[in-house]
Structures are given as C-alpha cells and as structure tokens.
A and B are shown apart, each in its own frame.
Chain A
C-alpha cells in the first residue's frame, strides 16, 4: 500500500493544477515612445469572455482557440489601453501562442504599442474580464531601462506608473557599458579579431611564417587591421541603428560566423597575407549589423538616439582596444618561437574555424525541434 500511493499520485500529477484566482499577466517594456511586451489570459477566462468552445463539448482545443483569434484581438483591443502622459498609444497584437502555467494553459499574445512621445508616465486601463469576474486582476511587470516595477491592474483603482527617464549622462554610461559588455561577451567578434591579429606579428615569406624584426611594423599592421574593422562596423552600425539599412538577423549572424571561418582558414592556408586590413574592412561591415541587432534589442531612447548610439559604439571600441592591448604584447613576445608559428597560429586558427562552423550551422539551419 505504502508503495502504491506515490505511483498513483504520479499518474495524476500531470493534470494537477493549483487553483488560484483569475489573473492575467501583462509584461510591458518601455523604450522611449515604444512599448513591447505580452499579454496572457487563461484559456478558461478567454472561453468565458468570448466563447471559444465551438462544439460545446466542455473542452477548449488549440484549433478552437486559434479560430477565435479575431474575437480575442477585438476583445483585448476594447479592454486594454495604454495612456501615456500626453495621449493614448496605439496597440498592436501579434500572433497567438500558448503558454502553460501551473494553473493551466494561457493564451499568449505579443503586443506592441506606439505612444505619442517618449513615455514618462503611463496609465494602463485594464478592464479585461471586469464584468464577468470582478476578482480578475492583471499582474503587471513593467520595465524601462534597468528599472523594473510590478503592479496590479483591474478592480476599482487605475494606478499610474512613473516611468524611469534616465539622464543623458546615465544613458551614455549605460550604453557605453552595454557596448563593452557586448564585445566581451560576444565571443564571435573577439574570435574574428583574434584571427586577424594572430598573424600580425609575422610576415609570410614564400611558404613560411617569419617573425617581424621590429615592433614598429607589427604595431602598424595591427593598427591598420583594427582601424579598418572599426571604421567598417561603425558605418553599418550607424546605418542600421538609424534604420537606413536593415538585414535579417539570421543572415547577418550566419555571415559573421562565415567571416570567422574565412579569417581563421586564411591563417592555416594563407591566401591573403599582405592586406588583412581589407578583410577586416569587408567583414567589419557585417559585424556592424550584428552590433546593431543588440542595439535594436535595447532600443534607442528617443531624444537621446545619437548620444546612445555614440556611447554604444565607443563602448565597443573600448572593449576591443582592451583586448588588443592585452593580446598584442603576448603574441609579440611569442612571435619568434616555433610553437607560435607552427602550433598556436595554424592549430589555434583551425580550432577557431571549427567553433565558427558550429555557429554557422546553428544560425543558418532552421532550428531543430
């Protein structure tokens, strides 16, 4: 008997749901005059509000919920409004999905809202389920920049939310940090740079690598590569951040991975040996789009677009410079050793190429489900 019970319980536990009061979950992220986020309503509540169970069998299927999408959008549109300090925001709802929570399945709608100007005070009019279940509440998690707050919507009160409006100095520091952080955590950019820097302390003579004799040509070569890379990615970062040019992120990310393979293989089987700065420039253009996608995730605060773009770019250069200053003395010191020329350069580059190949496959192929 004692052994039987846990087993029986386990069988039932798939269907176990803890009853909690009716809640909707609203996530809103404010970036300047844009709001992005999602709304979740329990499927059970959606049924009660708009009638989803088309065949009246007491069960709501995904097919039935999907078929009711237009009514659901209309219902949400009527009962959820964002009011910024100077007027209403226009709300757009994305494609319906499902989210499983402990108390059952929820209809999940991505949402975006466009407000008249940068949001400093936000009032959310939430009357979903109000006439059907007055105890329904919207649990809000609202964030702006690094500041997050929670709130309870619905019921008698409509709270206003102060939205964090950072100072110009704070914005500059935030974006500078983000830039540095991105280049350090974005290991793909580092590996690309490393592939170009490893041979900078050597000269290709015939079929052999020989160390440069003086520091001057090495420094000059590095300077050329880094400047070309910087110039190129700054151009495309600016163009993309200001929405002049746009590339699909899967394409950029894939080509960035490919660029690392090319740069690394060029060290193993040298083709271009005297003008790596050109490779750095050509591929730097693509890396710029990669930086821009990070910036797009963060958003450029309206009113401080140029400042934040500049700070972010400066952050990237700072992070990059720190890497160069750290790596260069080491490779310069090692340049004459056989280990460096015969092992570190070719095999290190080969390893980089393999890692980049994995990224390429990951990014270019459709996701494995």
Chain B
C-alpha cells in the first residue's frame, strides 16, 4: 500500500512544482554574481569625488561609456550618466561634459536628445572637434547626410586630415559615390593613421565592400579591423553578418563565441544555431525574447533593429517583424535599417511598407547590392 502511494505521489509531485520560483540557496558559498570592474560598491567613493573634480569625472565617465560599448552592458551607461548628472545640473555645464552626455545618449539610441546636447556644446565652443565628429556620426545614423557632411567639414581645422577624409568619404560612400570613396579610403596609409582611426578605416572598408557585393573583401577588412580593435562589437556583428550571408554559420559561431552577453551578438548566434539546427538555439531564443520584452516594457528602443531581425529570422513572425522594423525606421536609418524594413515588408506581403526605404534610397542615391532584390535601386 505504502509503495503504491509513494509511486502515485511521485507521479503527482512534479506537477505541483513551480518553475523559476524564488528559492533559498542551499549553500552559503553559492556565487550569485560576478562583479565587473567599476561595478562595486567601493567605486562609489571615487564617484563621490567626481562631484567636485572634473579632471576625474571626465575620464571615469569616458571609461564607463567605453565599457558599455565593449561589453554591451547597458548598466555602464547608467553609471556614466550618474557621474555626469551633478555636472549637468550646474547652471553652466562644461563643454566636455555636454559632449560625453551626448555620447551616452547616442549609445542609448536617443539620437535627437544627443543632437541637442551637441548643439549646446558647439554653441559654447564652436571649435570642439569631438563634438563635430559625434554630431557627424549621429546625423549619419539618422540618414541626414548633407548635415553630417557639413559637420565633417568643421573637423578640418582641428583634427588629423585622415579623420576628415574618413568622415567625408564615409558619407560619399552612402550618397552615390561608392567606388570612388572605397578607393579613397583604401588609399589612406594604415600606418600613418592615428590609432583610433585605424579600426574606423577597416570598418568603413568592410561595409563598403559589403555594399559593393564583395563579401570576401568585406570579411578580410572586418577581420583585419577586429585584429586592431577586438572590442569593437559593431565590426564583429558586421563580420558575423557577412559569414551568415555566405551560409557559414559555424564560422559565425566561432567569431561570436565569448560575446553571448551582448544582444546584437546573441541574435547572430541564434540565427547561426538555427541554420545548424542546434538545440542550444532554444536557450538563445528565450534569452533574446525575454530581453526584448523587458526593453519593450521599459520603453527602450536600443535594440529595435535586432528585435525586428529576431522576429523575422528566428521566430518567423513577419507581421510583428514589420512593425518593429517600422518603429526602428523612426529611430535610425543606416543601410541595415533599410534592409530589415524591406525584408520585413516583403515577408509580410506588404511591399508598400517598404516604400519609405525605397524613397530614401532614391533621394540619397544610396548604392547597396543587398537592397537590389527588393526593387530598391538608386
């Protein structure tokens, strides 16, 4: 009797267990969190000093923004914001604080807020090269190429001529002069460039080669760039896309291994796993959809492009993907944003929804071989 009851009990018991409920760890030594540098309570003492010492506040805020870019960990942007906050509240805000604040906003994809911060900075110091460069970058992401070009023009006086060339030719490559721009940037001697511009040159070359339809060259440039700047997650994601387009998911996984904590990387991992019919894909999918849900509830738009691509390439929900791609189009207008909008519109059998992208392409004479199958040619 007892045995029967226990057998019955073992059948019933699992049904009553609740998944992912709070629990009491069995062991005091169980590790709950690994703390990255700069994210410890002890660092608050240093932060306190930054309230009065600009010479400490600026490099620390810069460090946090750089950590956010390198790791994809959005908390670091919050830490940077906390350091800048007391300075932002002053009646006169130092120009470098405004520029860093704008950079933080740009990293959060709050492009318009970033632009108005840069306007303030440039009103205070019209010769601030960093402010002009950030402004050019933000305007380029927004697809406002003429204004971006004007911003590049202001660099000539203050920055290395190679920086100006990269700024201007990068825009030329998006506005009907792609082959010439590609040649001009290739002609820049790598060794003579300032260190921060080397990765930039490779990333421009990689993207241009992609748009010209030369994926082998694109992979070459992007891998060379990653050798110089392994932390550049933009280039790593771009390189993974080249590999995925060539049906090389294993190579993509190899490239992205160790970067799983960043949503854009995890997205490409999930796509590669799907191509490989890898069961680990289910875990990636769950992580991603959870992260997107939380972002949506917060009202953040940082990863709308990735969300659209996730809905299209991983969970295959064309209508939802199109909605996300349209929302993303309101935020940013890089070639990848055109691509996802056109792909989602086609998948959702709503070709009209892709019209803004086609119009954008005609107006700017943007050349991109990836967009051609969608009836988008300049």
Q: Which residues of A contact B (CB under 8 A)?
A: 1-2, 5-6, 8-10, 12-13, 16-23, 38, 42-44, 47-53, 56, 58-63, 65-66, 97-105, 108, 131-137, 139, 150, 152, 354, 357-358, 361-362, 368
Contact = CB atoms under 8 A, between A and B. Distances in A.
A108 B22 contact: yes
B275 to A, nearest CB: 11
Contacts of A17: 261, 287
A51 B8 CA distance: 48
Across the A-B interface, give the 5 residue pairs with the lowest CB-CB distance, nearest first.
A63-B28, A51-B41, A133-B78, A135-B78, A62-B25
Interface string B57-84: 0000000000000011111011101100
A21 B273 CA distance: 25
13 contacts: A5-B250, A17-B261, A18-B266, A22-B78, A53-B41, A59-B33, A62-B27, A98-B24, A101-B290, A132-B44, A134-B78, A135-B108, A152-B297
B187 interface: no
Interface in B244-259: 250, 253-254, 257-258
Given A6-B278, A102-B291, A136 B78 contact: yes
Contact of B12 (A23, A100, A358): A358
B9 A137 contact: no
Given A18-B288, A18-B291, A53-B41, A135 B297 contact: no
B217 interface: no
Contacts of B5: 354, 357-358, 361
A101 B85 CA distance: 30
Contact of A102 (B28, B253, B287): B287
B40 interface: yes
Interface in B70-110: 71-75, 77-79, 81-82, 85, 108
Interface in B24-66: 24-25, 27-35, 39-44
B214 interface: no
A184 B108 CA distance: 52
A98 B4 CA distance: 36
Given A18-B288, A102-B287, A362-B9, A135 B33 contact: no
B34 A132 contact: no
B20 A99 contact: yes
A58 B44 CA distance: 15
B290 A18 contact: yes
Of the candidates B1, B82, B279, B299, the one having the most CB atoms from chain A within 10 angstroms of its own CB is B82
A43 B32 contact: yes
B280 interface: yes
A9 B9 contact: no
A8 B250 contact: no
A9 B9 CA distance: 37
Of the candidates A16, A18, A44, A66, the one having the most CB atoms from chain B within 10 angstroms of its own CB is A18
B261 A16 contact: yes
Interface of B: 1, 4-6, 8-9, 12-13, 20-25, 27-35, 39-44, 71-75, 77-79, 81-82, 85, 108, 250, 253-254, 257-258, 260-263, 266, 269, 273, 276, 278-280, 283-284, 286-288, 290-291, 294-295, 297-300, 302
A50 B41 contact: yes
Contacts of A62: 25, 27-30, 32
A29 to B, nearest CB: 16
Contacts of B279: 6
Contacts of A9: 253, 257, 269, 273, 278, 280
A58 to B, nearest CB: 5
A44 B260 contact: no
Given A21-B300, A47-B41, A104-B33, A99 B22 contact: yes
Contacts of A52: 41
B12 A13 contact: no
A47 B33 contact: yes
A63 to B, nearest CB: 3
Given A20-B294, A50-B41, A102-B287, A134 B81 contact: yes
A12 to B, nearest CB: 7
Given A12-B257, A13-B280, A61-B32, A97 B23 contact: yes
A48 B44 contact: yes
A44 B298 CA distance: 19
B174 to A, nearest CB: 30
Nearest to A49: B41
Contacts of A99: 20-23
Contact of A44 (B9, B23, B33): B33
Contacts of A102: 286-287, 290-291
A33 to B, nearest CB: 26
Contact of A5 (B31, B77, B253): B253
Of the candidates A21, A50, A66, A108, the one having the most CB atoms from chain B within 10 angstroms of its own CB is A21
Contact of A23 (B258, B278, B287, B298): B298
B104 to A, nearest CB: 9
A8 B39 CA distance: 29
A5 B286 CA distance: 20
Contacts of A22: 74-75, 78
Nearest to B283: A13
Contact of A139 (B74, B261, B284, B297): B297
Contact of B250 (A2, A44, A357): A2
Contacts of B297: 139, 150, 152
Contacts of B286: 102
Contacts of B262: 19
Contacts of B39: 44, 47-48
Given A43-B32, A62-B25, A65-B32, A358 B40 contact: no
Contacts of B44: 48, 132
Nearest to A60: B33
Contact of B74 (A20, A60, A357): A20
A97 B298 contact: no
B48 to A, nearest CB: 11
A362 B78 contact: no
A21 B78 contact: yes
A10 B280 contact: yes
A12 B261 CA distance: 11
B32 A53 contact: no
Nearest to A355: B8
